[in-house]
Every structure is written in structure tokens, then in C-alpha cells.
Structure 1
């Protein structure tokens, strides 16, 4: 049963990761602030001259290395997260022009934020492995026993400050992201969840199949 669901799960994962990158590029081009990790990627991109998408990939890879001491195991979704979000974000930056007028910036950012929440539901729903940043958060929570919100806040405040010092865009969009992304994902995660059969359900289905074929 689980094997039959795999193509559907993989398709949703790939679509979610590509849309996630496009959503990031929309918020970058809006120019009114970014999420903490994207502020860091933009700041590093400014300082190094490397493409934003490439920097997003490299940050994901570095974060993934931090999984080793906290004994987290990556899944297929984790690896594809590192590989796909950066290129899709770079593609979006190529296609979407920079906005400088508030009447265009706000709708573009809002659209990117909503799309990012949808993309999050699509790539998490298949349960093929968390993104490197999410895995770092949950891994530190498991190893330290600190509350999830403490770990997440500590990580995101740190990367936000570093990214801002490097020249990343911190604005009222950053605040909007912090306030709204949680409630939006609360709506999209159950909407796009793929419910995998439990072991008991799988055994029952296999027994029924054997009965019908004998």
C-alpha cells in the first residue's frame, strides 16, 4: 500500500519544493523584508557575489552537516530540499522583476507568503523527510530537551541578526512572515497531508489480498 502511494508522494514533494523556491523569489523581489534564513542567504550573496539560489543551497548543505553530531537521519525529502529550492528560487529571480513601488511590493510579498505556506504543506505532507532547517530544530530539541519554540527562536534570531549585518533585507515583511507563516501553515499542512497506512492497516490489507487470490 505504501509503495503504491510513493509516486504520488514524490510528485507532491517535488512540486512543493519547486513552488517553495518560487515563493522565496517573490518575497525577495518584493523588497520589503524576508524570512530569517533568506535574510542570511541574501546577506551572504551580497558579500560573496554568489547567486542567491546557490547560497541557499550551500546554507542547506551546511545545516545538514550539523545533523551529524545531533544524530539526525536525512530522508529523500531532506536531500531534495537541499538540491531543488535554490535553483527554483534562482529561476524565480530571473523571471520576476524587482519591485520598488509599495502598491506592487505588498501584493507580491503576500502572494509569495501564501504560496510558501502551500508549498510547505505539499513538501511536508508526503512524509519523505524534513528540510535541513526543520531537522536541525527538532534534532536540537530532542538532544537538549529545550522547548521547540526556544530552539526555533534562538536559531532564527541568530541567523536573522547575522544576515542583517551582512546586508540582508530586514523589513516589515520580516515581521509579517514571523506572525503569519505559522497560522497559514496550520491551514495548509492538514490540507495537503498524505495519510500513510499504519502497520495494522497494511497487514489487514495484505491479508485480504492474499485471501482474494487463494
Structure 2
């Protein structure tokens, strides 16, 4: 249990830091972060606060699909946003192409490792993952279709509001799954009461 709790807290904190690196790269944010960026252009709130508010709204959408949050779900919803704001305090904006590429690469690796840590702690999915899996069960549609529809929707809405969509958005979509699977193999905590988690397709975005 101490290892699980530590992994959850460290993983959630590093997840927000990874988001900050990717956003600072300027190459394009992850799908849900494009939405957050777009919203921040129209309200006097920080990126982290908007992230937390969006997480709360997503959790409300769990009610009609009968999803039940775990401790990790609540921690994720409350702490990812503030940790992203902490990251923005010390991570510079990428100016040159090499700086942008470096910031993006660091962010993607940090976020993927963080995902492996908090999912591997077995305290429940993040708000956005829970929405995806809940819709998958209720609608009886393949999970990749549900995820694609959700992420295309939030990207389009975020882009329309002024969020940054670019090559980084595409690279994130292509690379984050395999990277998260790799780190989940490293950080998954064995549990005697059930088998280790599957290393099949892994979704992220909290």
C-alpha cells in the first residue's frame, strides 16, 4: 500500500508536469489540453484551474453511465491541474525548433511514465479514461471508436476556441499509447488478490 499511494501521488504530479512541458513546446497540445487551452482564452482562470473544472464536469458525466470513481480518480481530478500550473512556473516557452522538440519529447516521456505509475497503482482510472470506458460499455462500441470520437470532438471544440493544434497533437496520439504500455510494465504493482493488469491498449488523459 505505501508503494501504491506513493506511485499514485507522484504519478499524478508528474502527469501535470508532463502536460506543462508539452504545452510549453508550442507544437500542439494533447487533445483534452487543446480544449483547456481554448477555454483559458475566454475566462480569467489558469490552465490548471480550468483542467480541474473540466475534470469535475467529466465526472458528472459518469453518473448517467453508472461509472464509480476510485480514490485515484478523485486525486487525478484534483491534483493534475495544480501540478500543471506548477510546471508552467519553471518551464520556459520553446523558441527555436530544437527547443520545442526537446520540450515536447521530455513532456511526452514524463507524461507516459506518470501514466504508468498512477494506473499501475490500481486506484481507479482518471476522469477522462473513465468516461471513455463507461461509454464503451454502455454504447457497446469498440473502445478505439469511443476514444477517437471523444478526442476528435474535444480537439475541434478546443481548436475553435483558440487552443493549439499542431504536429505535437498528432505525435501525441500516435506515440502515447505504446509509451504508456511500456511504462505500465515497469510500474504495475503486483496484487495477490487479482492478476496483474493487462498490457493491452492503454488510454490516457486523466
TM-score interval (norm. to shorter): over 0.9
- 1:198 Cα deviation (Å)? 2.1
Q: Identify the match of residue 148 of structure 1 among 143, 146, 165.
A: 143
Instruction: Please name the residue that 1:98 is paired with.
Output: 93
- 2:95 is aligned with 1:76: no
SS in 1 for 2:32: helix
Give secondary structure in 2 for the equivalent of 1:48.
coil
Unaligned regions of 5+ residues in structure 2, if any?
Answer: 195-206
- In structure 2, distance between residues paired with 1:16 and 1:198: 23
The aligned counterpart of 1:12 is 7
1:22-81 Cα distance to aligned partner (Å, 9 max, x none)? 000001111110110000001101111310010000111100000000000000000000
| Match of residue 124, structure 1, among 119, 123, 134 | 119
Whole-Å Cα distance in 2 between the matches of residues 106 and 191 of structure 1? 26
Corresponding residue of 1:35 = 30
In the other structure, the counterpart of 1:51 is: 46
What is the number of residues matched between the two proteins?
Answer: 195
Q: Distance in 2 between matches of 1:148 and 1:97?
A: 36
RMSD of aligned alpha carbons: 1.1
1:179 is matched with which residue: 171, 174, 180? 174
1:97 offset after TM fit, Å? 1.5
How far apart, in 1, do the equivalents of 2:56 and 2:100 lie? 31
Query: Take 1:125 and 1:194, find their aligned partners in 2: how far apart are those partners?
Result: 6
Q: CA deviation at 1:152?
A: 0.3
TM-score, normalised to structure 2, is 0.93
Residues in 1 aligned to 2:186 and 2:171: alpha-carbon distance in whole angstroms: 22
Q: Distance in 2 between matches of 1:111 and 1:39?
A: 18
> C-alpha displacement at 1:94, in angstroms?
1.1
**TM-score under structure 1 normalisation?**
0.89
Unaligned runs of 5+ in 1: 1-5, 200-214
Q: CA deviation at 1:98?
A: 1.2
Displacement of 1:99? 1.5
